[in-house]
Structure 1
Amino acid sequence: MEIKTILITQARTGSTRLPGKVLKEIGGRSLLQIHLDRLKKCSKVSEIIVATTNKEEDSEIYNKAIEWGFVASRGSESDVLDRFYQAVKDKKADWIVRVTSDCPLIDSSLVDKVISYVQDNDKDYGSNVLIENFPDGQDVEVFKFSALETAWKNAELLSEREHVTPYIRNNSDYRGGALFTAINYPCESDFSKIRMTVDESSDFELIEILVNKLGVKKSWVEYTNYIIENNLTKINNQIIRNEGFLKSLKNDK
């Protein structure tokens, strides 16, 4: 029987630091469209769902996703765990892949590799972010639907509802927990200082340079090498990685 793997990308316009960021355009195409076109090349994914919010201003994301031929769903802005669960609960998926739409240059072949690695090792959860050595903006998380459902039923902390996977990670054997098995997809070198995600205007400036110079079809390695060779890290390396998640953790207390 074929394994059903559904990729969900979360997308909204309501960013506090760079409002409307996923609809900002480079060369006539929005970051969201670039992101989705790159993900379309994933061979290990059965379906891609764009999970946006119920807010009126996110109707454009919903409508565009459908116009481009993707499945789209709408749900809670703050309880993203519920938004994910509602998007797939009737799909009979075996596996869920989580990415975020503020990562326009996510690499489809890397996504496929992480999926294969986690599925071949039959872990409940796996990602390339348990140890953050990949560039920020190449984050891929893969987990069993059963793990998502358990998290959805049991997660109570704000950070665990707002960011989908912390409940699974926190209760995994990787973190000393007993509920889930977990594995990290390794990176040969430490590229954690490289940012290819878009949280602030300086991030957008860097992505714009990469797209204008290299186009939208290169691998994560080619973009990374270009950033390093041209000393472009200085554009946005003052931004703290996972700042939104760190803020949520503070609000848990």
Structure 2
Amino acid sequence: MSTVIIIQARVGSTRLPNKVLTDIANKPMLQRVVERCSRSTNADTVMVATTNNADDDPIVKLCESIGTPVYRGSEEDVLDRYKQAADMIQADVIVRVTSDCPLIDPEILDQAITKFEEVKPDYASNVIERTYPRGLDCEIFSRSVLDRVWNEAKQKHEREHVTPYILENPEKFTVLSIVGDTNESTHRWTVDTPEDLKLVQAIYAELGEDGAFDWKQILDFLEQNPEILQLNAGIEQKSLKD
């Protein structure tokens, strides 16, 4: 059975244009996401799903340069993009990650994949009841569930955001919420704004450009250096409707 991490990526961003290619410790942010996901021992492959837009040609070039499989599809119908990408790479289980998470943690991914394999729900995620820092998000579902959602989801937001159809129809799907031992949900490690980027750059500068640190080391660093948290304090998360 093939478990594939699929990272959705495009250069368009309202609050931080071209953010997926922004430099973090001498590498583009998307490459940081790919490298951290590639450290997962429970996933067989990491691939990127981007759009057919010419603006996203640099994403394809980056993926080719680092040997990462890439699929190009619809910009707005991200659900279809995931469906076609999963079909192309013949994934049995899909782990959905977004390209604005350069601190995504392979240990958390592995734990989530293990729980998904043990419990065998239709869908598992660590964001249903958020306990991990924002930016360590993952969702897991089988290709058969993806096919079903692809066939049944009709609303624009269901197509654009991939999984709302599952969460908005709990009577149709078995759902597993993955939670941590402590609540660290007040931390914001995703990158949507220049302030977010400064925080992540500071973390890489301190903990190492090789990116081999884990999320608990980040927590320790921030606890010892609380002034770093002020770099993106007050930034609000965009809603799905924004």
- TM-score scaled by structure 1? 0.91
Counterpart of 1:240?
A: 236
State the shift of 1:195 in Å: 1.0
Q: Does 1:116 align with 2:114?
A: yes
Q: Name the stretch that deviates more: 199-208 or 57-66.
A: 57-66
Runs of 4+, deviation exceeding 4 Å: none
Counterpart of 1:213?
A: 206
Counterpart of 1:170?
A: 168
Does the 8 A contact of 2:96 with 2:138 survive in 1?
Answer: yes
Does the 8 A contact of 1:127 with 1:141 survive in 2?
Answer: yes
Structure 2 counterpart of 1:227, which letter? L
Measure, in 1, the Cα distance between the counterparts of 2:160 and 2:58.
22
Gaps of 5+ in 1: 172-176, 248-253
The sequence identity of aligned pairs, in percent, is 38
SS at structure 2 position matched to 1:206: helix
Measure, in 2, the Cα distance between the counterparts of 1:27 and 1:48.
21
Structure 2 counterpart of 1:237, which letter? A
Structure 2 counterpart of 1:28, which letter? N
Q: Does 1:182 align with 2:182?
A: no
Measure, in 2, the Cα distance between the counterparts of 1:212 and 1:48.
25
State the shift of 1:223 in Å: 0.9
Measure, in 1, the Cα distance between the counterparts of 2:157 and 2:133.
23
Measure, in 1, the Cα distance between the counterparts of 2:180 and 2:56.
35
Measured on the aligned residues, the alpha-carbon RMSD in Å equals 1.3
Measure, in 1, the Cα distance between the counterparts of 2:198 and 2:152.
40
Measure, in 2, the Cα distance between the counterparts of 1:34 and 1:92.
24
**Over residues 114-173 of structure 1, what are the superposed CA-to-partner deviations in whole Å (9 max), with x where a residue is unaligned?**
0111111010100111101100000011111111111111112222111111111222xx
Q: Does 1:224 align with 2:219?
A: yes
Structure 2 counterpart of 1:206, which letter? L
Measure, in 2, the Cα distance between the counterparts of 1:64 and 1:28.
14
Q: Name the stretch that deviates more: 219-228 or 63-72.
A: 219-228
**Over residues 98-117 of structure 1, what are the superposed CA-to-partner deviations in whole Å (9 max), with x where a residue is unaligned?**
00111011111110110111
Measure, in 2, the Cα distance between the counterparts of 1:91 and 1:33.
20
State the shift of 1:27 in Å: 2.9
- TM-score scaled by structure 2? 0.95
Does the 8 A contact of 1:49 with 1:71 survive in 2?
Answer: yes
Structure 2 counterpart of 1:163, which letter? H
